[in-house]
Structure 1
Amino acid sequence: MDTEVTPRRQVDLAIGGMTCTSCATRVEKKLNRLDGVDATVNLATERAHVLVAGGVSDADLITTVEATGYTATFPSPDASSGDDEKTDQERALKPRLILAGILTVPVAAISMIPALQFEGWGWVALVLALPVVTWAAWPFHRATGINARHGAATMDTLVSMGVAAATAWSVGVLLTGTGEPYLEIATVVTTFLLTGRLLEARARRSSGAALRSLLDLGARDVNLLKNGREIRVKAEELSVGDLFVVRPGERIGTDGVVTEGDSDVDESMLTGEPLPIHVKPDSTVTGACVNGTGRIVVRATRVGADTTLSRITRIVQEAQSGKARAQRLADRVSSVFVPAVIVLSLLSLVLWVLITGDWQSAGIAAVSVLIIACPCALGLAIPTALLVGTGRGAQMGILIRGPQTLEDAQHVDVIVLDKTGTLTQGRMSLADVTVADGFQHDEVLRLAAAVEHAGEHPLGRAVVAAVPGELPAVTEFGSTQGLGVEGTVDGRRVRVGRPSWLLTSKIEDESAPGRPAAGTVPEQSGSITDDRRQAIAALPDDLTGAVTAAEGRTAVVVWIDGTPAAVLTIADTIKPGAREAITQLRALGLTPMLATGDNASTARAVASSVGIAPDDVFAELMPEEKVAVVERLQASGHRVAMVGDGVNDAAALATARLGLALGTGTDAAMEAGDITLVRGEMETVPQAIRLSRATSRIVRQNLLWAFGYNVAALPLAAFGLLNPMIAGLAMALSSVAVVTNSLRLRRFRA
């Protein structure tokens, strides 16, 4: 008996007001209590992805979120809307931080430097401090209120209570004229923690940029072919089976099959390889890839969410959601630490009153506990180390995304590297020239480059780039799609192309009168020496040239006046320093592996040249297969880092525990990665691992000091051995210790 499956629809909600992982967890639990709802809340992107079955309406979802204390709206279909919302959050925090910074300086100065104090200075400090402890600190107070309604306590709770306690105590002191005010504590804590909150908001905004970069790759409009006429329509209006025209240089509107025409299509978005793929009728093409030299007609086979680009986008989104659920150390500890501090403060108050009956001493003890526990050093532990570490990294061309990145870099043991653009230059260049007897090296190159300059093939551009200076003019130019080019230069007939094209053609003595028109097949009258025929014939054949299995290189042959003059070897060459970088990664305890969309022979050749074992090579991979490799390694217990530069690497970069993206690559890769290597040099990969580990060590030391300081000082404060002034001084000293320790990263050397 078949079981009827209730259809489910997906709803995306933009959630506002979340400040920590406990907020996201609370919203997720509340939504999942609704019948037929399966919700996942992503703090990093501030999105809730909800699968709904049954009678739950969109209004029910929004009401549920709002009942939890947060806001919910339907995000705009515009890919950039998420970025705008994140920017609004930063704009809301920035003026609060600016105001707090401006007013905190004079408050701290007159409160802590006796020489600056004057008659009534405490009231002046109170007037300056009130905007800081109220309006500037409002995000912490608001979060505390929301948490209190749901019986929860976070670091926001402790910040709010500490600021409020220091302010209330100071007001009481000023009114009674006894004791010392501690307004500088309230203002300094607010300013420091607003700084950390702004940095966190910026990190969240960047986490969604990978998805926007991927979506931006898709074609906006397509030429729909209807009744023999071309109609310009939006790409999302295409349906399966529609025919559309793609002209040279345009992006393909969606996944499909070529029905007419032939061309070279740049599929580097998927494969990472710089060499285009020749397509003809019945060839499959992928949406967002760039059409090369010819006009093609494509029949749509997948549209909308079913396309390859959409699948890659979903993989990146899912991978980022998984990372966003990782708990930060401060949040994990706060679940125990914050309630414990509150209970200890109340116990101090009650016990002092019961034992001594002295309300003033009881109040001092209770306030001292809150002040000494106020997480100033804890709040600085991560931001200061991150600021110094990332600043030093920026000087070295290494951009670190955030605290989670540092933790991930500390533990990776396998590093998977893309080939093209990562280990290799990512572009075809002239690697070798073999010139036949009777020809001059420079002259052959000059003639070949002149003919290739009139064409558009990447192999030809590699030849042109190898010849400096101005090239001679070409006449009688002809091009045979996917095979080669020909033309007359300085009165000499020059052909450059695939060995098979030139070897099997009937080639005459083209210096003679009556030469056939360009693009035709002449009759053979000249001869080919046996050694040259043997050398050319030994090269294997494919549509774009002869790829030598041993080295993964492409060979083209130059014929001048009907005679083979040279074999040009073109290759994507290894980056300088790549082999040394692999050696350094091994020294750091990482196992390097290679994952590429290129063919197996080329992949093994590149791996061998840089020192990667043959068993650690994965070739001919599509983007989702790269993800599968990373997931398989992680499922087997490895902690995987991924290095890449292309759109085809974005999903794997997001899936890996640590993603390192080369700054010379695509925006999608850089935004999906946790670390961006600006210069794109392989030497910076081991440097990034070292810097991340060094910064992570500093963070752990800072956190150890911050918590250790609280553990040691809290009992003293509870027993009345620390008055609020000493507590405030101790808190300030702990902050100085954290900052000083963080500054040691400025001395990090590559």
Structure 2
Amino acid sequence: MAEQLVELNVTGMHCNNCAMSIHKLLEKKGLQNVLVSFASEEVKFSTADQSLLPGIITDIENLGFHVVDDIATHKTPFYDKVENKFTFCALFTAPLLLHMLFPWHFLHNPVVQLILCLPVFLVGCFHFGKSAYSSVKGGVPNMDVLIFIGSTSAFIYSLVGTVQNLGVHYLFYETCATIITLVLLGNVLEKRSVNQTTSAVKDLMKFQQVNASRVTKDGIEIINAKDVIAGDTLQVNEGDQVPVDGEVLSGEASINEAMITGESIPVQKKKYDTIIGGTIVLEGNIKIMATKVGSNSTLSQIIDLMKRAQAAKPPVQKLGDKVAAIFVPVVLVIALLTFIITYFATNVGMQGSVMHAIAVLVISCPCAMGLATPTAVMVGLGRAAKNGILIKGGDTIEAVANTKFVIFDKTGTLTTGKFSIKDIEVAEGQNMESVRGAIVAIEERSNHPIAKSLVNGLSGLAKQKVILRSVAEEKGLGMRAEDVEGNNYFLGTAKLSDNDNFNLALYKNQVLIAQIAIEDTIKPDAANLIVQLKKMGIKPILLSGDKASRCASVAKTLGIIDVHSEKLPDEKLSVVDIYRKKGKTIMIGDGINDAPALTQADVGVSMNDASHIAIQSAKVILLNTDLQSVVKFLQISRHTLLTIKQNLFWAFAYNIIAIPVAALGFLNPMVGALAMAFSDVIVIGNSLRLKVKKVS
């Protein structure tokens, strides 16, 4: 049975610890492609057995979270919002701290301190205690275990001192309250910061929340874009946002497609042109027929791909995950040893020993390690998307690190794909009109750039169009067709021709009836791209099914040394494999014949105007046809990986330094709680720099 993607809306996740608890639970159950985002309150995973779903939902709710049907309509209770919990706790914690600054004797009263601390402690018990108990019960102890034990230890120690009237040296109510309040502050800051890292997806989702003007027999009906069905006729006026993907039925318009392609120059659209939902009509009015709606729309697929990309962990994250998985038990052991050694080997007594142990518990924070990779990946993916680069997986970012080779297909990648017919040579006894008619009839069934150019160039000249019964495209070879009279045609690469001036040959019943010479132009930014790749230490390779002479000409113009020409799809696969054995290899292509090679490469990159199969095979899609997107993609990926490594370094260094300092008694538990909260913010802040930092 094929695996299906399951999406759940889960409320009650306040920080990355919550997300990690659910993530570990689902992985322990053997589920694949697990994605848990506390910022968007989403949980995704793949399973082949849908009957497991009710049990999985129950297990998630047993951890202290809630699975809801629709996150948009769900309202979080006032008392359950982490911001409100922090505000409530801060109001009671402030007076507890003031007694250390001002000589207000009533604040030194143990009973007053108990009364002030108790509400904060209860909030902490429900917030951290519930999560801690559920995580231990589920066999995946999280950071809340440390917070709960630390704050509870301080509270009970103080309560005993109050009941037995042991004096001010046994009162640490402010430590208990401050730990809880500062960690809640960290949760608030963490959630707000991570919300910024997911802004790219949220910005795209806003484009879906529009109305549409549906044309009916009674006039115009205003409906929500999500209610549009394929085949509906929609009126889109100047200034409107196109609600769904469609095809222009009438009118002309200038469209801003920047949100999809990153290209700021408006695109003119006329009858029969395709139009993408979410783009803006700058000038003109058009009627369109809805073609792709709901989850099938281009915008929905981009949003879904970006969300799934966050689930693909780069290998660099595995170390962080392994450490975080054993972190809590190790910290508990260190805290216990700290208490025992301090109590029996020093003269600080019970009070000092407890404080040292509590400091170890609250300073230890695997949150930063857990946040190090996903925050950087989310920001990197978002920046790439805003530059017209759609990256399908977070693991792709690391896969392009240390790239040695970039292999280019020629037609439609390094060249414009817009061809002009230079010459048609008809065999003796053949009629030019019938040849033109056969070429147009066959090629109008293909999406290949050469086919489109042939149809555009000959459609006005083809007076005797052949009526075809069937047409089939063969990868890397050409088109086969049969007309209604039973004649068989083949139109494809002129590989058997002795004349290099001709690119294509047309056969009728296995007899050569015409040869076609076509010209392609090199993209204006191709030469600059090759120069930049060489500066980055990357070797460009040309791999094409076209003739050797034409490939050599393009390669010479662009400065490419290694050329592989006249290659069929399976031969392209072999070439890619050869380079992969030498180093990290990227393949950039656009045709059906490139699909296997795109899959075989470490990273396949497809142009947006490529065939559907090529786009599905690639890991990266360049929505903007500007080749500079290739360099931008490499630069963003490199800086994202650099940011991940920086984050992991600071996260590890923080804990390596902080835990011994706390164990030796040089760190107050309250300072530890504050430092722990801001360690997350430092990591997130470093990730957010990716939004604006120069990546050249």
Deviation at residue 715 of structure 1 after TM alignment: 0.7
2:524 corresponds to which of 567, 576, 587: 576
The alignment status of 1:394 with 2:385, answered yes or no, reads yes
- Residue 146 of structure 2 corresponds to which residue in structure 1? 162
2:587 corresponds to which of 611, 621, 642: 642
- Residue 465 of structure 2 corresponds to which residue in structure 1? 479
Cα distance change, pair 544–594 in 1 and its aligned pair in 2 (3 A): closer
Cα distance change, pair 102–457 in 1 and its aligned pair in 2 (3 A): same
Q: Which amino acid in the other structure matches residue 184 of structure 2?
A: T
Deviation at residue 186 of structure 1 after TM alignment: 3.5
Q: Which amino acid in the other structure matches residue 350 of structure 1?
A: I
1:179 corresponds to which of 165, 174, 192: 174
Unaligned runs of 5+ in 1: 1-9, 29-39, 50-57, 72-85, 149-156, 204-319, 436-443, 483-518, 520-540, 557-566
Give the secondary structure class of the aligned counterpart of 2:569: coil
Cα distance change, pair 383–648 in 1 and its aligned pair in 2 (3 A): same
Deviation at residue 373 of structure 1 after TM alignment: 1.4
- Residue 342 of structure 1 corresponds to which residue in structure 2? 332
Deviation at residue 370 of structure 1 after TM alignment: 2.1
Give the secondary structure class of the aligned counterpart of 2:654: helix
Unaligned runs of 5+ in 2: 9-18, 36-43, 62-66, 100-106, 108-114, 163-170, 201-308, 426-431, 469-484, 507-514
Spell out, residue by residue over 1:689-711, the C-alpha distance to the aligned partner (whole angstroms, 9 max, x if none). Answer: 11211121122112111211111
Spell out, residue by residue over 1:386-424, the C-alpha distance to the aligned partner (whole angstroms, 9 max, x if none). Answer: 344334333322344554333222222222334444334
1:593 corresponds to which of 541, 561, 566: 541
Cα distance change, pair 588–191 in 1 and its aligned pair in 2 (3 A): same
Q: CA separation in 1, counterparts of 2:572 and 2:352?
A: 65
- Residue 147 of structure 1 corresponds to which residue in structure 2? 139
Q: Which amino acid in the other structure matches residue 103 of structure 1?
A: N
| Equivalences for residues 610-629 of structure 1 within 5 A | 610-615=558-563, 619-622=567-570, 626=572, 628-629=574-575
Q: Is the 8 A contact 1:650 1:672 kept in 2?
A: yes
| Equivalences for residues 211-250 of structure 1 within 5 A | none
Deviation at residue 686 of structure 1 after TM alignment: 1.6
Q: Which amino acid in the other structure matches residue 642 of structure 1?
A: M
Give the secondary structure class of the aligned counterpart of 1:642: strand
Moved more, 179-188 or 343-352: 179-188
Deviation at residue 576 of structure 1 after TM alignment: 3.1
Q: CA separation in 1, counterparts of 2:535 and 2:409?
A: 20
Give the secondary structure class of the aligned counterpart of 1:415: strand
Q: CA separation in 2, counterparts of 1:607 and 1:721?
A: 66
Q: Which amino acid in the other structure matches residue 717 of structure 1?
A: A
Q: CA separation in 2, counterparts of 1:96 and 1:637?
A: 58
Q: Is the 8 A contact 1:608 1:614 kept in 2?
A: no
Q: CA separation in 1, counterparts of 2:421 and 2:644?
A: 47
Q: Is the 8 A contact 1:578 1:682 kept in 2?
A: yes
Cα distance change, pair 666–478 in 1 and its aligned pair in 2 (3 A): closer
TM (norm. structure 1) is: 0.52
Deviation at residue 145 of structure 1 after TM alignment: 3.7
Deviation at residue 665 of structure 1 after TM alignment: 3.7
Q: CA separation in 2, counterparts of 1:720 and 1:571?
A: 77
Q: Which amino acid in the other structure matches residue 619 of structure 1?
A: K
| Equivalences for residues 721-740 of structure 1 within 5 A | 721-740=666-685
Deviation at residue 684 of structure 1 after TM alignment: 1.0
Deviation at residue 429 of structure 1 after TM alignment: 3.0
Q: CA separation in 2, counterparts of 1:669 and 1:170?
A: 61
Spell out, residue by residue over 1:358-400, the C-alpha distance to the aligned partner (whole angstroms, 9 max, x if none). Answer: 4443332222212211123323322333344334333322344
Deviation at residue 479 of structure 1 after TM alignment: 2.2
Q: Which amino acid in the other structure matches residue 582 of structure 1?
A: I
Cα distance change, pair 675–461 in 1 and its aligned pair in 2 (3 A): closer
1:415 corresponds to which of 400, 406, 410: 406
Q: CA separation in 1, counterparts of 2:574 and 2:23?
A: 28
Q: Which amino acid in the other structure matches residue 414 of structure 2?
A: L
Q: Is the 8 A contact 2:389 2:629 kept in 1?
A: yes
Q: CA separation in 2, counterparts of 1:667 and 1:198?
A: 33
Q: CA separation in 1, counterparts of 2:500 and 2:78?
A: 61
Q: CA separation in 2, counterparts of 1:724 and 1:27?
A: 37
The count of corresponding residues between Structure 1 and Structure 2 is 495
Q: CA separation in 2, counterparts of 1:94 and 1:411?
A: 47
Q: CA separation in 2, counterparts of 1:554 and 1:87?
A: 59
Q: Is the 8 A contact 2:573 2:596 kept in 1?
A: yes
Q: Is the 8 A contact 2:363 2:673 kept in 1?
A: yes
The alignment status of 1:106 with 2:107, answered yes or no, reads no
2:643 corresponds to which of 673, 679, 698: 698
Give the secondary structure class of the aligned counterpart of 1:147: coil
Q: CA separation in 1, counterparts of 2:119 and 2:654?
A: 32
Cα distance change, pair 462–721 in 1 and its aligned pair in 2 (3 A): same
- Residue 406 of structure 1 corresponds to which residue in structure 2? 397
- Residue 653 of structure 2 corresponds to which residue in structure 1? 708
Cα distance change, pair 404–480 in 1 and its aligned pair in 2 (3 A): closer
Q: CA separation in 2, counterparts of 1:420 and 1:87?
A: 49
1:333 corresponds to which of 318, 323, 326: 323
The alignment status of 1:381 with 2:372, answered yes or no, reads yes
Cα distance change, pair 676–592 in 1 and its aligned pair in 2 (3 A): same
Cα distance change, pair 12–685 in 1 and its aligned pair in 2 (3 A): closer
Q: Which amino acid in the other structure matches residue 406 of structure 1?
A: I
Q: Is the 8 A contact 1:630 1:652 kept in 2?
A: yes
Cα distance change, pair 639–464 in 1 and its aligned pair in 2 (3 A): closer
Deviation at residue 574 of structure 1 after TM alignment: 3.4
Give the secondary structure class of the aligned counterpart of 2:377: helix
Q: CA separation in 2, counterparts of 1:585 and 1:717?
A: 49
Q: Which amino acid in the other structure matches residue 146 of structure 2?
A: G
Q: Which amino acid in the other structure matches residue 331 of structure 1?
A: D
Q: CA separation in 2, counterparts of 1:644 and 1:338?
A: 47
Give the secondary structure class of the aligned counterpart of 1:722: coil
Q: Is the 8 A contact 1:193 1:376 kept in 2?
A: no
- Residue 359 of structure 2 corresponds to which residue in structure 1? 368
Q: CA separation in 1, counterparts of 2:521 and 2:382?
A: 32
Cα distance change, pair 571–743 in 1 and its aligned pair in 2 (3 A): same
Q: CA separation in 2, counterparts of 1:650 and 1:192?
A: 44
Q: CA separation in 2, counterparts of 1:650 and 1:96?
A: 50
Give the secondary structure class of the aligned counterpart of 2:464: strand
| Equivalences for residues 159-558 of structure 1 within 5 A | 159-165=143-149, 168-169=152-153, 172=156, 178-180=173-175, 181=177, 182-188=179-185, 190=187, 326=315, 328-334=318-324, 337-355=327-345, 356=347, 358-401=349-392, 403-426=394-417, 428-430=418-420, 432=422, 456=444, 462=453, 465=456, 477-480=463-466, 543=491, 550=500, 553-554=503-504
Q: CA separation in 1, counterparts of 2:592 and 2:147?
A: 47
Give the secondary structure class of the aligned counterpart of 2:145: helix
Q: Which amino acid in the other structure matches residue 574 of structure 1?
A: I
Q: Which amino acid in the other structure matches residue 732 of structure 1?
A: A
Q: CA separation in 1, counterparts of 2:539 and 2:79?
A: 46
Q: Is the 8 A contact 1:646 1:669 kept in 2?
A: yes
Cα distance change, pair 735–324 in 1 and its aligned pair in 2 (3 A): closer
